[in-house]
Structure 1
Amino acid sequence: MISLKRLIFIIFLLITSPLLSMPAFSAEAQPVEQQAAVSAAESGSLTHQMWRNIMLGNLKIEADHTAVDALILQGNIPVTYEYVATLMRTPNAFGEGPACIVCHSSNDPKRSYRGLDLSTCEGILRGATEAPVKPAIVPGEPMKSRVVQKLRNNRMPLGVSFLAPIDTDTINGIKNWIDAGAKEDDNFKNTILPLFSTPKAFGSDVACISCHSSFRDPPSFHGVNLTSYKGIMKGAFSKSNAKLGKPPVPIVIPHDAANSPLYQRLIENRMPPGIGPNDESDHPNTHLLMRWIEQGAWCK
């Protein structure tokens, strides 16, 4: 039976047979596949670059997800706003759930949740207009863009209901502690720290330290350690980022609970509504949206 690679090669020869006559290497010196790959590279087009990488074993396409990475992200193909606009209008674009514009289609908070308009490029760049006003996009910074965070970050603890209240005594306790400066005082030791080891403290049977009790991932997700003041204030990815020469990612910003991931994760649901906590956060469309933001989030 003919292999997929051989079949691709035969199709390529039928379409671009003149490439075989290009004087890259002699027929006696190189296999015909490598001759075509080298000649293809000299043409400079994306198609020929892709062909060269396939033939030389530098590109392996196994499924839709890897295809997006290999063909678009690695190929540096610009992601246009037209595609982003399509994503915002398409159900299940980022995982099972309604299209984004069903809930976010106006900057009027009386018509659209948070006054967020995802139906136009200008609306996306404007962000939420309901207090507290927050941008949805930080051009050039996908990981700092709230629209990406909302698509990727699960509400904590895992399994808590989408409609669970966000103003409980325990959640407000975390908020007030951070806004007061996040100090290692008696309030922290006697009231705040025990919450992380208490099941049902934040609406789930799972205690926070069941998943976040070490600086290493695994066993502790994102290297978040909620067993001590030092661990909480060190933040996420302290071990892995240290190997890369990067600082940890803070999860507590003293005096600013609204922008502290520790508090955000207790009150903000992952989008779209209905997506399960086990659904992967690295959906290919999310990566394409991130690339658009990385490229500058241009409205063109």
Structure 2
Amino acid sequence: MFKAKNVIRIGKGANAVLARPLSGIPLAIWAFSLTFALALGSTAAQQTPPPNPHSPPPTSVTHQMYLDMKLGTLNIHGDNAVVEALVLQRDIPITYDYVATLMRTPNAFGEGPACIVCHSSNDQLKSYRGLNLSSCEGILLGATEAPANPIVIKGEPFQSHLIQRIRNNRMPLGTPFFAPVDTDSILAVKDWINAGALNDENFTTKVLPLFVDPVAFGSETACTECHKSFRDPPSFNEVNLTSYDAIMTGAFSKTRKKQNLPGLPIVVPSNAEASPLYQRLTTSRMPPGTDPGSPADHPNTLLLMRWIEQGASCD
């Protein structure tokens, strides 16, 4: 086993694995996980007989991992494989200790400073938004500067503002971090939503044309360049901003329709702050400096989401 340019190689020949350690996971633990898994499952890629229905159940998660690899049902490959295969798929409890490590680790969710550099106190004179990410209590309390709001909704990672800020890029892509959020165009969208998001003359003449204007929201790309149909591709997240009905249909409508579910709303009438459409026009991805082209689902982000999904326990 050796390390070069933050990449480790474990095993020999065709069975070797190249992997890059994750932020917040010590190299020794990372390497041990892969070495142990490979040692147990060196024949995982080969055809093996189905499990014996009369075999005793696994006695531990380690035993289960061994059985899965022996049967070829656990495949470990790629940078994020260990987290996905050994943690997320097995619903291993995520402790607050690990979450605390993430908040203190630079580049934990993408290139940028540690979260607690900017958010370490509920005092709004010392910490942006009066947000304290240096303790579990602070995370659950949320932002204290007006408008005060929680950043974690237990059991609902996608509804939690903390996850939204880590995953979601400001729109349109390429908008500078310090671009104003109170321009006439943005306020027009905000006022339309807060007035009930009606399909009226104001929407038709003042709001809808903004989505086809390449300079309306601080970039040089019209919203409809990336959001013009219910298919992905060509429209990211199956968002369609070409008409009132399309906007109100929401995101992932085509995919969710197959599951007899409505699209995810991007507009919450009378509540711009809760509307993803307005949020994406005004909030930049955290931490500052994260490349908008970097993957939204960094392994550490997935672990943070799982912690919230499991109830955001402080234990």
**TM class by shorter-chain length?**
0.7 to 0.9
- Cα deviation, 1:164-219, whole Å, max 9, x if unaligned, reads 11111111111111111111111111111110001110011100000000011111
Distance in 2 (CA, whole Å) between partners of 1:11 and 1:123 is 42
- Name the residue aligned to 2:15: 4
Moved over 6 A (4+): 7-10, 33-41
State whether residues 226 and 234 of structure 2, in contact with CA within 8 Å, keep that contact through their aligned partners in structure 1. yes
Distance in 1 (CA, whole Å) between partners of 2:55 and 2:126 is 54
State whether residues 41 and 48 of structure 1, in contact with CA within 8 Å, keep that contact through their aligned partners in structure 2. no
User: Which structure is higher in helix share?
Assistant: 1
Post-superposition offset of 1:63: 2.2
Matched, 1:190 2:210: no
- Name the residue aligned to 1:201: 216
Distance in 1 (CA, whole Å) between partners of 2:56 and 2:297 is 31
Q: Secondary structure at the match of 1:131?
A: coil
Distance in 1 (CA, whole Å) between partners of 2:50 and 2:257 is 44
Matched, 1:175 2:190: yes
- Name the residue aligned to 1:101: 116
- Name the residue aligned to 1:144: 159
- Name the residue aligned to 1:91: 106
Matched, 1:159 2:174: yes
Shift of the 41–293 alpha-carbon distance from structure 1 to 2, 3 Å rule, reads farther
Distance in 2 (CA, whole Å) between partners of 1:188 and 1:8 is 60
1:1-300 equivalences under 5 Å are: 4=15, 11-12=39-40, 42-300=57-315
Distance in 2 (CA, whole Å) between partners of 1:238 and 1:148 is 22
Post-superposition offset of 1:64: 3.0
Distance in 2 (CA, whole Å) between partners of 1:92 and 1:80 is 20
Number of aligned positions between the proteins: 281
State whether residues 232 and 238 of structure 2, in contact with CA within 8 Å, keep that contact through their aligned partners in structure 1. yes
Shift of the 112–63 alpha-carbon distance from structure 1 to 2, 3 Å rule, reads same
Distance in 2 (CA, whole Å) between partners of 1:221 and 1:12 is 41
Distance in 2 (CA, whole Å) between partners of 1:39 and 1:10 is 26
Q: Secondary structure at the match of 1:196?
A: helix
Shift of the 289–9 alpha-carbon distance from structure 1 to 2, 3 Å rule, reads closer
Unmatched tracts of structure 2, length 5 or more: 1-11, 17-34
State whether residues 40 and 70 of structure 2, in contact with CA within 8 Å, keep that contact through their aligned partners in structure 1. no
Q: Secondary structure at the match of 2:90?
A: coil
State whether residues 106 and 118 of structure 1, in contact with CA within 8 Å, keep that contact through their aligned partners in structure 2. yes
Question: What is the TM-score with the length of structure 1 in the denominator?
Answer: 0.88
State whether residues 40 and 52 of structure 1, in contact with CA within 8 Å, keep that contact through their aligned partners in structure 2. no
Of structures 1 and 2, the larger Rg is shown by 1
Distance in 2 (CA, whole Å) between partners of 1:130 and 1:2 is 57
Amino acid at match of 1:276: D
Post-superposition offset of 1:2: 6.9
Amino acid at match of 1:297: A
Distance in 1 (CA, whole Å) between partners of 2:78 and 2:38 is 22
Distance in 1 (CA, whole Å) between partners of 2:172 and 2:90 is 38
Question: What is the TM-score with the length of structure 2 in the denominator?
Answer: 0.84
State whether residues 41 and 49 of structure 1, in contact with CA within 8 Å, keep that contact through their aligned partners in structure 2. no
Unmatched tracts of structure 1, length 5 or more: 14-30
State whether residues 50 and 71 of structure 2, in contact with CA within 8 Å, keep that contact through their aligned partners in structure 1. no
Moved more, 236-245 or 206-215: 236-245
Q: Percent identity?
A: 58
